[in-house]
């Protein structure tokens, strides 16, 4: 992108000739950088504080552990970012993860581990498609629609297990959740792959641009000839698929499929997205922001553990941080409008 950097170096592209825009632009760039930096500053501050106050924190074992723990939620949060930028919410991801874990375990016992995993991923994408169609073709508000399907999907998971745990007899099932490559857990590699590919999707592909346009102004997107329903459905399929991957990882980690797995993941994921600074109003946001959001939540949890603070306060702290993030979001939005 050499041409782009030369543009940035020159300050502004060639079409700028008049001065009046400058002050508002400056204001916007302050707002933008605060939006950019705010969460990063908090994250780095916490990182430094923990490094100083705890010897155990800044060790590769601890950091890789945190990443491994948070990888499933991170994967879901990245996909949720796309859904939210597109102007919807997907509250069914936790339930889809549970269904996927259960299906993976059951099919693994019947047909083998590989087929089990494939079946889980396909059904995750399929349930995502169901969500997408309910929201687009069915014209149901995504919040309500996926809240309803999350209940139904969780029911499917319970019915599939018959209420008990499904232990996978083939121990190779645990390779994905417990194994590693180059000293780094597979879960982390998969999380990294999601981050990179979804970031690419959002920033470099036409689909990514359409998602942003739809979330920013649905009517304008429609009048621009974008297949709004198709793109929006795709975001749900993606979200369902990501949830299934997370569900398989969770099941694989413990070698069992259980209907109660991944409970509450959807809300933690949305929290991570919002903390990162992606707009809940849709249209704007980025995958890296969500990575920072997830990392911040992870650090809070880890820090509380290392410093031996009661877990109760951990939840309180998380809640407060989410509220602050949303207030800052609204505040910056007003600043931009004014």
Partner 1 sequence: MTSTAAHRELIIQLESVDKRFGGAHALQDITLGIAAGTVHALVGENGAGKSTLGKIVSGVHRRDAGVVRVCGREVDYHSPRDALDDGVAIIAQELALVPHCSVMENVFLGEESRRGIVLNDRQLRHRYDALIERTGFELPADVRVGDLRIADRQKVEILRALARDARVIVMDEPTAALSRPEAELLLQDIRELRDAGTTIVYVSHFLEETFSIADTVTVLRDGRLVGTVDPAEVSIPDVITMMLGRSQIVEEPRRRDPRELGPVVLEVEGLARTGVFEDVSLRLHAGEIVALAGLVGAGRSEIARAIFGADPVDGGRVAIEGRRMHFRSPRDAIRNRLAMLPESRKDQGLVMGASVADNMTLGVLERFSHFGVARRRAEREAARAMAERVAIRGGGLNSPVSLLSGGNQQKALFGKWLLAEPQVLIVDEPTRGVDIGAKQTIYELLRELAAEGMAVLVVSSDIDEVIALADRAVVVRTGRIVAEFQGDGVDADRIMRAAFGGHRAPDTTENEGIQP
By the criterion CB under 8 A, which residues form the site for partner 1?
1, 3-4, 7, 12-18, 20-21, 24-25, 28, 204-207, 209-210, 212-213, 216-217, 219-227, 279, 283-284, 336-337
Nearer to partner 1, 31 or 126 (CB): 31
Nearer to partner 1, 23 or 312 (CB): 23
- What is the C-alpha to C-alpha distance for residues 32 and 28, in angstroms, rounded to an integer? 6
3-state class of 162 per DSSP?
A: coil
Least separation, in Å, of the C-beta of 232 and partner 1? 15
Q: Are 228 and 222 in contact (CB under 8 A)?
A: yes
Least separation, in Å, of the C-beta of 208 and partner 1? 8
Nearer to partner 1, 16 or 144 (CB): 16
Least separation, in Å, of the C-beta of 86 and partner 1? 12
Nearer to partner 1, 131 or 279 (CB): 279
Least separation, in Å, of the C-beta of 163 and partner 1? 43
Q: Are 335 and 31 in contact (CB under 8 A)?
A: yes
SS (H, E, C) 206-262: HHHHHHHHHHHCHHHHHHCCCCHHHHHHHHHHHHHHHHHHHHHHHHHHHCEECCCCC
Nearer to partner 1, 139 or 264 (CB): 139
Least separation, in Å, of the C-beta of 253 and partner 1? 34
Name 167's bridge partners: 256
DSSP string, 111-153: H-HHHHHHHHHHHHHHHHHHHHHHHHTS---HHHHHHHHHHHH
């Amino acid at each position: 992108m050499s041409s782009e950097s030369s543009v940035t170096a020159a300050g502004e592209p060639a079409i700028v000739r008049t001065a009046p825009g400058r002050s508002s632009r400056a204001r916007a760039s302050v707002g933008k950088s605060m939006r950019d930096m705010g969460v990063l500053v908090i994250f780095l501050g916490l990182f430094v504080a923990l490094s100083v106050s705890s010897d155990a924190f800044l060790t590769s074992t601890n950091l890789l552990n945190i990443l491994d723990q948070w990888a499933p939620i991170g994967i879901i949060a990245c996909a949720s970012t796309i859904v939210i930028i597109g102007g919807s919410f997907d509250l069914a991801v936790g339930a889809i993860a549970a269904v996927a874990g259960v299906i993976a375990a059951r099919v693994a016992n019947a047909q083998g581990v590989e087929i089990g995993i494939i079946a889980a991923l396909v059904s995750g994408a399929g349930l995502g498609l169901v969500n997408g169609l309910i929201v687009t073709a069915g014209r149901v508000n995504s919040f309500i629609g996926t809240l309803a399907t999350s209940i139904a999907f969780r029911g499917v998971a319970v019915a599939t297990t018959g209420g008990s745990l499904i232990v996978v007899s083939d121990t190779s099932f645990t390779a994905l959740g417990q194994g590693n490559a180059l000293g780094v857990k597979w879960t982390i590699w998969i999380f990294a792959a999601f981050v990179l590919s979804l970031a690419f999707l959002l920033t470099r592909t036409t689909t990514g641009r359409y998602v942003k346009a739809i979330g920013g102004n649905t009517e304008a997107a429609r009048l621009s000839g974008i297949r709004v329903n198709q793109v929006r459905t795709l975001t749900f399929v993606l979200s369902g698929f990501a949830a299934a991957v997370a569900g398989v990882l969770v099941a694989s980690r413990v070698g069992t499929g259980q209907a109660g797995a991944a409970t509450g993941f959807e809300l933690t994921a949305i929290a991570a997205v919002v903390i990162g600074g992606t707009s809940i109003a849709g249209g704007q946001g980025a995958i890296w922001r969500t990575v920072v959001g997830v990392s911040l939540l992870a650090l809070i949890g880890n820090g509380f553990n290392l410093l031996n603070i009661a877990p109760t306060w951990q939840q309180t702290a998380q809640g407060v941080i989410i509220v602050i993030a949303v207030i800052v979001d609204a505040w910056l939005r007003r600043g931009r409008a004014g």
